[in-house]
Structure 1
């Protein structure tokens, strides 16, 4: 399995294998999103609690990202990738054997910690193998995972939940993981010596707990906690994050190379993803819940209704990835954000108790197309032109931003929705009779409409940094 591949392995071949790893990681996210309503019923848990099955996973992804550059530099990208895929598969089996919400959250964290190494290690392998002029196309190919996962995940998860068992949402990752190990071990190029740095342990102990405290504080609002306790957690998270930034500026070998932000385009691209991803990924739990809670649909139907948006996202991602090489990300990203914002606005208007599924589907396709055409070009802008030694730090920062802001957005959306649901929250809705739920449907729909104002605002706000992305960019640009 560890046989070294020849150096002549084509970058496109590497990208296609990386797609499988990305599918495994993204599939687990989308499968769980459609399952939260059923898991809430199974374990009699509130939305603010059950959302940690999704948020804990995303947070673990982000928590591992800062150490990924050191890990790749110390052990090699290929070795780290194979180890992370193995650990992810084991964590998946454990999650499928979970006996309550706390145990499932714990095993989801195991999955997230492993997944947090899969993505940056894979991106480092791809960046090192690709020529700068083909990076956009390869990033677009690698982004197929963001098509296949969201496209197949909800429908597959819904079918497994309705017809088999929720346990198999996680067991499905085992054969996928084995296939990845066989292919990557044979086809990926051998690790080459790179710059090794000491692990910034103090920085890691500042950033990861800081992010966890911040997101935990946000989620506490959804559990009806008093204002003082959640704010204290949020304040603690912000203080730790600020302390990390101060340390990173002066440390000899910081966890994240803040020097990358001297490039105007790198700073603008990561700033765009910071705000955009919080809004875009933070809504992934909302649509499946709307269809099941307000419209009374099964998990399978809710998953099928998510497919048009996922298809639009993947299609736009491929087109935008190629256009980014030809005309530059700076011309694509602002237009794509405007498309996504239009979709969010139209969706918020139509999420009534009897809104047309055709209209909702059209709005979700706009959101998906805008999201797919925003994220990949923004990533390309941030990573294009990085040196061999900068590749781990650049990929680390990009993955940290996307995964962490997905967790922040998910926790924020869940907290806001929980606050707008009837007394007793999601559990009270589950206990309603058919007639009572039908009578409550307009109020429940209004809660979802109100919640969607948050992601809409964030997506619109991301236009500000997006307008600062250069049309043609390299990391070495100065502001």
Structure 2
């Protein structure tokens, strides 16, 4: 059977033990590329803590100040589709370097903004550059690691990006309390400069000039569709669900734009993104697993802070500390997940991981109104372990199914699927929880509202588990053939 791009004969078979560990230079490159993941991860969660302070200092309403965060997230989504084309055009290494330089400069510009409008503009520019860092870095890793070491290298390189959002709110609160909100952006500058200096010595530039003409109609369609989809699902909680007119209109427009993009891409000789990669059953099953694992992950990240505050009556600082259990469990498991994926195949590892997620989520749907905090923390560690076992192996499996020249497209698609799945999972959990809490007047009713939401989270994990089972079967068929 031919893989996506004809790689079935060279892709590692499940159960095959890699011959050698990754060379030391590969780990140095992975460490440098992780700086980009840390910056974008930190900025997503760190700045949210200071939105109210920033708005007050710049004389902006809370609604206007919220666009400091929303504009950044929309810009992150808008740049993902063009990352593959740019990587082919100038080389993934050059793209990563230019993106990191742009992110560092725009971070400094954000710190020196003197009005809310100026800060929103600079945050959008920051998002446009930051959106390219993770997929470009992933494409570089995929090329330097080799298929037989893909799981371990991708998994270990993902650890900083998992820990950064966990520590972001705490770091942000400390910076705002002891310095000023400007330092939430200035903190990126030294990290970016050090990353650039190291990258200039270590990161390979990659082959440039392999891209055809830029498909502008396709770019416009997907650059419109993804931000609109992000905007719609992010606003679902504020407007009472996905069917509310302020949400439904951009949601329908997003789906139409994305459908037209898919139709055009499948027919184009030189598509903006090569969606034909999904013709390979292993790649397609891995992509589906990534999307629904993202839904289970980000849905939980929306629900758990509210659970600690509303369900358990904890303060914001306590909530930040309690949330770290999940990230620590995930970060500790990532290296093991990568090694297991290389040795046994990503499908079976993801399948086990999602079973662990279900085991860690079902008890949350059964907890009483006054749960044992130790039990809750233990379940968060279990969920972190399970999602680490599920996420990284599915990503490395998808990337291992493509040729080196297709790596940029594959990494862009993997990131898009993870973010879209995460956005939809977050929106669904937010809508379910807000609806259930609307009539909750007692602690028992609040607990019941969270139990319903945890059952929805369990359902997302079960769908991802079914897709991981398909991935496992697809990998076994490849091995037999």
What is the TM-score with the length of structure 2 in the denominator?
0.83
Q: Report the secondary structure of 2:470's partner residue.
A: coil
In 2: Cα distance, 1:200 partner to 1:477 partner: 37
Please report how far the alpha carbon of residue 158 of structure 1 lies from its aligned counterpart in structure 2 after TM superposition. 3.9
| Aligned equivalent of 2:470 | 468
In 2: Cα distance, 1:99 partner to 1:317 partner: 41
Please report how far the alpha carbon of residue 51 of structure 1 lies from its aligned counterpart in structure 2 after TM superposition. 7.2
Deviates more, 1:412-421 or 1:61-70: 412-421
| Aligned equivalent of 1:224 | 239
In 2: Cα distance, 1:41 partner to 1:296 partner: 27
Contact 1:154 1:304 in 2 (8 A): no
In 2: Cα distance, 1:111 partner to 1:167 partner: 15
What does 1:361-372 correspond to in 2, within 5 Å? Answer: 361-372=377-388
Contact 2:233 2:423 in 1 (8 A): no
Contact 2:85 2:273 in 1 (8 A): no
Q: Does residue 1:381 correspond to 2:397, yes or no?
A: yes
Q: Report the secondary structure of 2:204's partner residue.
A: coil
Q: Does residue 1:88 correspond to 2:90, yes or no?
A: no
Please report how far the alpha carbon of residue 177 of structure 1 lies from its aligned counterpart in structure 2 after TM superposition. 1.0
What does 1:145-184 correspond to in 2, within 5 Å? Answer: 145-184=160-199
Contact 1:95 1:107 in 2 (8 A): yes
| Aligned equivalent of 1:30 | 45
In 1: Cα distance, 2:85 partner to 2:169 partner: 34
Contact 1:158 1:301 in 2 (8 A): no
Contact 1:223 1:418 in 2 (8 A): no
In 1: Cα distance, 2:333 partner to 2:24 partner: 28
| Aligned equivalent of 2:458 | 456
Q: Report the secondary structure of 2:301's partner residue.
A: coil
Please report how far the alpha carbon of residue 372 of structure 1 lies from its aligned counterpart in structure 2 after TM superposition. 1.0
Alignment gaps of 5+ in structure 1: 1-7, 424-436
Please report how far the alpha carbon of residue 252 of structure 1 lies from its aligned counterpart in structure 2 after TM superposition. 1.4
Please report how far the alpha carbon of residue 150 of structure 1 lies from its aligned counterpart in structure 2 after TM superposition. 3.6
CA separation of 1:22/1:216 partners in 2, compared to 1, >3 Å: closer, same or farther?
A: closer
What is the TM-score with the length of structure 1 in the denominator?
0.83
CA separation of 1:152/1:232 partners in 2, compared to 1, >3 Å: closer, same or farther?
A: closer
Deviates more, 1:299-308 or 1:332-341: 299-308
In 1: Cα distance, 2:295 partner to 2:458 partner: 10
2:411 to 395, 406, 411: 395
Deviates more, 1:9-18 or 1:315-324: 9-18
Please report how far the alpha carbon of residue 319 of structure 1 lies from its aligned counterpart in structure 2 after TM superposition. 0.4
Please report how far the alpha carbon of residue 148 of structure 1 lies from its aligned counterpart in structure 2 after TM superposition. 2.9
CA separation of 1:179/1:300 partners in 2, compared to 1, >3 Å: closer, same or farther?
A: farther
Contact 1:63 1:113 in 2 (8 A): yes
CA separation of 1:87/1:419 partners in 2, compared to 1, >3 Å: closer, same or farther?
A: farther
In 2: Cα distance, 1:417 partner to 1:37 partner: 24
In 2: Cα distance, 1:412 partner to 1:101 partner: 30
CA separation of 1:209/1:465 partners in 2, compared to 1, >3 Å: closer, same or farther?
A: same
In 1: Cα distance, 2:427 partner to 2:286 partner: 23
Contact 1:383 1:394 in 2 (8 A): yes
Q: Deviations over 1:127-148 (max 9, x none)?
A: 2212221121111221122343
1:257 to 245, 250, 274: 274
Please report how far the alpha carbon of residue 101 of structure 1 lies from its aligned counterpart in structure 2 after TM superposition. 7.3
CA separation of 1:408/1:105 partners in 2, compared to 1, >3 Å: closer, same or farther?
A: farther
Q: Does residue 1:123 correspond to 2:138, yes or no?
A: yes
1:309 to 318, 326, 346: 326
Q: Deviations over 1:163-220 (max 9, x none)?
A: 5444433332121111111111121124334522221211111112122233333344
| Aligned equivalent of 2:27 | 12
CA separation of 1:151/1:9 partners in 2, compared to 1, >3 Å: closer, same or farther?
A: same
Count of residues in Structure 1 that have an aligned counterpart in Structure 2: 454
Please report how far the alpha carbon of residue 443 of structure 1 lies from its aligned counterpart in structure 2 after TM superposition. 5.2
CA separation of 1:472/1:323 partners in 2, compared to 1, >3 Å: closer, same or farther?
A: farther
Deviates more, 1:125-134 or 1:451-460: 451-460
What does 1:389-428 correspond to in 2, within 5 Å? Answer: 389-421=405-437
Q: Deviations over 1:408-428 (max 9, x none)?
A: 3334444444445559xxxxx
| Aligned equivalent of 1:358 | 374
In 1: Cα distance, 2:453 partner to 2:173 partner: 24
Q: Deviations over 1:308-359 (max 9, x none)?
A: 111110122110101111011111111111211222232344484x433212
Q: Report the secondary structure of 1:462's partner residue.
A: helix
In 2: Cα distance, 1:451 partner to 1:54 partner: 25
CA separation of 1:408/1:56 partners in 2, compared to 1, >3 Å: closer, same or farther?
A: farther
Alignment gaps of 5+ in structure 2: 1-22
Root mean square deviation of aligned Cα: 3.4
Please report how far the alpha carbon of residue 54 of structure 1 lies from its aligned counterpart in structure 2 after TM superposition. 5.3
In 2: Cα distance, 1:97 partner to 1:449 partner: 45
| Aligned equivalent of 2:342 | 325
Contact 2:75 2:131 in 1 (8 A): yes
In 2: Cα distance, 1:102 partner to 1:142 partner: 35
